Amino acid sequence: MGVTPKIAPSMLSSDFANLASEAKRMLDFVADWLHMDIMDGHFVPNLTIGAPVIESLRKHTKAFLDCHLMVTNPIDYVEPLGKAGASGFTFHVEENWQELIQKIKSKAMRPGVALKPGTLIEEVYPLVDSENPVEMVLVMTVEPGFGGQKFMPQMMDKVRVLRKKYPSLDIEVDGGLGPSTIEMAASAGANCIVAGSSKFGAAEPGTEKC
Ligand SMILES: O=C(CO)[C@@H](O)[C@H](O)COP(=O)(O)O
């Protein structure tokens, strides 16, 4: 694509007891966005944060809060997250996507759709081609639920196909991204990179964008 990808550190790998300073550390060094993993312990076997934490963090930063909803019934989260100050609202493909996109936009958030490794790429086409489309596709490069997993290079085929079909779409990749995999994802066409353990695990998260 020829552009420097945005870097979105996944706050799931941060010290939640010091969320505001962890966010600042990332924004000072490397982050364009902050990636917020919202998990309900049902859609995925892990339970993380929700609107109250987004609201607290919003008091400390104006950064784009890129929320990835790994929850059952994401529509129930639109209003509270909009009120809390979320910027992006990325949900997993589901039947009532038209109503969901409309509601997300009505709360001034940016809608995105996520693809688990087992979800077929064709499932997102109607959401991108719609008259009221999503503005980003998130291609998961691990099974959703936990940080620190191994990158699945075979997911790059999805990124390549999406980039060819949608030259100006935001394509985000998430899971196992670090120094040895970011380049592969960027060359496949990803322009938003989520990185958790590789950024928070590093003493020096790096000033480089890619
Ligand atoms: O959504 C998820 C996991 O479900 C991710 O955002 C991870 O939190 C990324 O962490 P690393 O794989 O980069 O450690």
Q: Could you identify the atom of ligand 1 that is nearest to the CA of residue 68?
A: 1
Give the distance (Å) from ligand 1 centre to CA of residue 131: 31
- Which residues carry out catalysis? 37, 174
**What tokens were used for 21?**
């300073």
Residue 118 annotated in ligand binding: no
Note the ipTM here.
Answer: 0.98
Give the distance (Å) from ligand 1 centre to CA of residue 198: 10
Model confidence over 129-144: pLDDT tens digits? 999 999 999 999 999 9
How is 98-121 classified by DSSP, letter by letter? HHHHHHHHHTT-EEEEEE-TTS-G
pTM: predicted TM-score of the whole model, two decimal places: 0.96
Residue 3: the pLDDT is: 73
**Band of pLDDT at residue 30, cut at 50, 70 and 90:** confident
For all residues of the chain together, what is the average pLDDT? Answer: 95
Considering only CA atoms, which of 135, 136, 134, 171 is closest in space to residue 156? 171
Residue 202: the pLDDT is: 77
Domains and CATH numbers, the chain: 6-200 (3.20.20.70)
